[in-house]
Structure 1
Amino acid sequence: MRNARTILIVAMAAWCAIASPVAARTVSATFALIEPGDRGTISYRITAPTIGRRLPILLFSHGAGYSGDDYAPLVRYWADHGFIVVQPTHLDSRKLNLAADDARRASVWRSRGDDLVAALDRWPDLVRQSPAMLRNADPTHVVAAGHSFGGHSVALLAGMTVRGAEPLGDRRIRGVLLLSPPGGFDGLAADWQARAPYLDADWSAMRVPALTIIGARDRSAMSPRDATWHADAYRRAAGGNSCLVTLADAGHFLGGVGGQPLTLGTDPADPAAVAIVQGASLAFLRAAVTGVRFRPRRFAHATTECR
C-alpha cells in the first residue's frame, strides 16, 4: 500500500511538472463546451494554480487570428500569481480555418463575447471535466482581459455597446484589462469603416474599473491616427476608475506579450516592456477583484494617467 501511494504521488508530481513550466505551480488543460445553434464546440485553454482556495477567474480574449494557446508570457504569469485563466479560441482563429464564405464570419465580433459569457454560464460543466483542477475557483470574482480585437470583445462584457446591436454587458465582470484595443469608429480609415461596422463602439456606459495599456509606436493600418487611437476606450469611457499606461518604445504586441511565434517585424521583443505589462496588469486585476481602487506605479519608459 505504501509503495502504491508513493507511485501515485510521483505520478501526480510528474504530471504537474509536465503540464506547467512555472515551477509546477500551475497546470494547463484544454476543455470544450458544445453550444446550441451554429456556434458548435468552443475550445478553452484553462491555466490554473495548483494551490489556493477561492481563486478568481480571468477571462482572456485573443487578438484576431490567434488562439487560446497563445499569450503564454501573460497567462503563465497571471496563473502563477493566483488567477484561473480561461482562454477561448474564437471563430476567427486561424487554427479553426473558417471558410471565407462561412455565414458566421459576419457575427464573429458578437460570438467572441458569447464565448466568454458561455464559460461563466456553464462553469459547472467545465468543472465537471476536471474537478481537481477547477474546484478551487470562485466564479463570483471574475475579471476579463483582451489583446487587440480581444480588447473589443471584453469591453462588450464591461458595458461597451455597438451601434444597432443588443448590449452584451455582464454584471459578473468586476474589471477589464484592454491591451492595444481598437479605437473609435471616427478614427478608422474609410475602407475599414465599411469592412468593420462592429467597431462603431460607444464606451460611455462602460463603468467597471478598466486599465488600458498601449504602445506609443503602435501605428495601425486601420487608422490614419497615431498610437493614441488605441487609447480611445480610456478617454471615452465613463471614467471614475480608469487608467492608461503608454509604453514609450512598444508596438502592438507591447514587447512580446503574445509569446512565440507572435512577433512582428515592426514590434521587436522587449522583455522590459513585457515586465511592465505583467506587473501593472496583475496589480490592476487584483484591485478589481477585491474592489480596491487602482493606481498604477510609475515605470521607466512609460507614462501613466488615471481619470
Structure 2
Amino acid sequence: MNEPIPAADTSSAPVLSVSPIVLPARGRPVDLQMRVSAPVTGSELPILLISHGHGPSNHLSSLNGYAPLANYFAARGFVVIQPTHLDSKTLPFRGSDHRDAPLFWQSRAEDMKRILDGLDAVEGAVVGLAGRLDRSKVAVMGHSMGGHTASVLLGARHVDRRDGTEANFAEPRINAGVLLAAPGRGDTVSPFVAEHYPFFSTIDFSTMTAPALVVAGDKDDSPHLTVAGADWHADPYFLSPSPKSLVTLFDAGHGLGGVSGYDAAETTDENPERVAAVQLLTWAYLRTALYPGDSAWPKAQSALTGGSTPLGRVESK
C-alpha cells in the first residue's frame, strides 16, 4: 500500500447535488439533462464539465455516473456539471439513423458548449448556487469516449473524409482539461473502428493547444479499439503541443481502478487506491492549472511516485 495517496482528506466539504436539470436544446432529439454538484458553501467556484464514456452499462454513461470523480471535485471546491450525452444507454439513440450515431462525437462537444451558453439557467436551477460561479475558470474532464470529447474541446480536430472539411470544436471558454483513458492516434485504430467509426482515423492532436493532463493505464490494451496496445492512450500527450502532463498508472486497465462508479461491474481493474490516486492527481492538476502558483499539482506528483511501491509515473512538457 502506498501511504501518500489518501482515499479522502480533511479539505472535503458537504456537497449538494441536483438532477435532472434540463436545458432546452433546439435541434437535439431530446433536451439536455444534467446533474450539478457543488459545495454547500463558498464563492468564486471554478466549473468542471465531466463527459461520461460510451460504455456498456445502463446508467454509468449518463448524468448518474462517475460519482467517485464528481463527488470528490465538488467536495473540494468545484461546481461539477455532468450531462447525459445522446449515446447514453438511458436514451434510445445508439441504434438510430441520426447523422452522429452511435457515438455522437460532435453532439457531445455541442452539449458542453450549450451548458456554457446556459450557465444562467443552470445557476437558477440550483437553490443557493446563483452568483457563486467563477465563469473565468472552466475545465473539462472525460473518460474513454468522454476523453475524446475533452480532446476536441481542447483543440484536437477531425477532417470529414466525405468533403475534406475540418471539424473544429475548440472551446475558448475552457481553460484546461483532463483526458482519462482517451482514444489515441488515427493510424493505429483497429479494423473494426476504421470501418464503423472512421472519424477516429482523422484525429489531429497537433492543434490541441490548451493545457491538459492525460491519464493512461499501462494495461489498457483496448484491442477492440487499437492495434497499438496500451501506449495508444498516451498519444494525446505525445502528439500535442505543450503544456501537457502524462500520468501512467501501473497495472491499470481501462477503468483506471473504477472511476466510472462505485463498485462498478464493468471495471476490470477495481482498485480503490488507484481511484484515490486519480481523484487526487486530476483535482491537483486542475487546481494548479486554474490557479497558477498553487502547489497542489507538485505535491500530488510526489504522492504518486513516492514510497516503496509507486502507483505510477509522471512526465510533463
Instruction: Say whether the 8 Å CA contact 2:68–2:262 is kept in structure 1.
Output: no
* Secondary structure class of the residue paired with 2:43: coil
Ranked by relative contact order (alpha carbons within 8 Å, sequence separation 6 or more), the top structure is 2
Alignment partner, residue 211 of structure 2? 209
Q: Could you give the per-residue CA deviations for residues 91-125 of structure 1, whole angstroms, max 9, x where no partner exists?
A: 00001122613324437110000111111011111
Alpha-carbon distance between aligned partners in 2 of 1:258 and 1:183, rounded to the nearest angstrom: 20
1:53 corresponds to 2:53: no
After the TM superposition, which residues 224-263 of structure 1 pair with which residues of structure 2 at under 5 Å, given as runs?
A: 224-239=227-242, 241-260=243-262, 262-263=264-265
Letter in 2 for 1:163: V
1:43 corresponds to 2:43: no
Higher normalized helix content (fraction of residues): 1
Alpha-carbon distance between aligned partners in 1 of 2:95 and 2:209, rounded to the nearest angstrom: 36
After the TM superposition, which residues 1-307 of structure 1 pair with which residues of structure 2 at under 5 Å, given as runs?
A: 25-30=14-19, 31-65=21-55, 66-98=61-93, 100-106=95-101, 108-164=104-160, 165-199=166-200, 200-220=202-222, 221-239=224-242, 241-260=243-262, 262-264=264-266, 267-292=268-293, 295=298, 296-297=301-302, 298-299=304-305, 300-307=310-317
* Secondary structure class of the residue paired with 2:24: strand
Instruction: Say whether the 8 Å CA contact 1:92–1:105 is kept in structure 2.
Output: no
* Secondary structure class of the residue paired with 1:250: coil
Alpha-carbon distance between aligned partners in 1 of 2:121 and 2:113, rounded to the nearest angstrom: 13
Task: Give the share of equivalent positions with the same residue, in percent.
Answer: 35
**Structure 2 residues without counterparts, runs of 5 or longer:** 1-10, 56-60, 161-165
* Secondary structure class of the residue paired with 1:194: helix
Alpha-carbon distance between aligned partners in 1 of 2:115 and 2:98, rounded to the nearest angstrom: 24
* Secondary structure class of the residue paired with 2:175: strand
* Secondary structure class of the residue paired with 2:253: coil
Instruction: Say whether the 8 Å CA contact 1:143–1:288 is kept in structure 2.
Output: no
Offset, 1:128:
2.0
Query: Following TM superposition, where does structure 1 have runs of at least 4 consecutive aligned residues deviating by more than 4 angstroms?
Result: 292-295
Q: Could you give the per-residue CA deviations for residues 24-74 of structure 1, whole angstroms, max 9, x where no partner exists?
A: 710111111011113430001111110111000000000004112111111
* Secondary structure class of the residue paired with 1:92: coil
Alpha-carbon distance between aligned partners in 2 of 1:160 and 1:57, rounded to the nearest angstrom: 21
Instruction: Say whether the 8 Å CA contact 2:180–2:214 is kept in structure 1.
Output: yes
Alpha-carbon distance between aligned partners in 1 of 2:132 and 2:64, rounded to the nearest angstrom: 22
Offset, 1:259:
1.4
* Secondary structure class of the residue paired with 2:33: strand
Offset, 1:83:
0.4
Instruction: Say whether the 8 Å CA contact 1:48–1:134 is kept in structure 2.
Output: no
**Structure 1 residues without counterparts, runs of 5 or longer:** 1-21
Offset, 1:79:
0.6
Instruction: Say whether the 8 Å CA contact 1:84–1:137 is kept in structure 2.
Output: yes
Alpha-carbon distance between aligned partners in 1 of 2:262 and 2:289, rounded to the nearest angstrom: 29
**Paired residues, number:** 284
Alpha-carbon distance between aligned partners in 2 of 1:292 and 1:162, rounded to the nearest angstrom: 34
Alpha-carbon distance between aligned partners in 2 of 1:112 and 1:225, rounded to the nearest angstrom: 26
* Secondary structure class of the residue paired with 1:155: helix
| Higher mean C-alpha displacement, 29-38 vs 79-88 | 29-38
* Cα 1:305–1:23 shift into 2, 3 Å: closer
Alignment partner, residue 15 of structure 1? none
| Higher mean C-alpha displacement, 56-65 vs 92-101 | 92-101
* Secondary structure class of the residue paired with 1:273: helix
Alpha-carbon distance between aligned partners in 1 of 2:94 and 2:87, rounded to the nearest angstrom: 10
Alpha-carbon distance between aligned partners in 1 of 2:247 and 2:12, rounded to the nearest angstrom: 30
Question: What TM-score does the superposition give when structure 2 sets the normalisation length?
Answer: 0.85
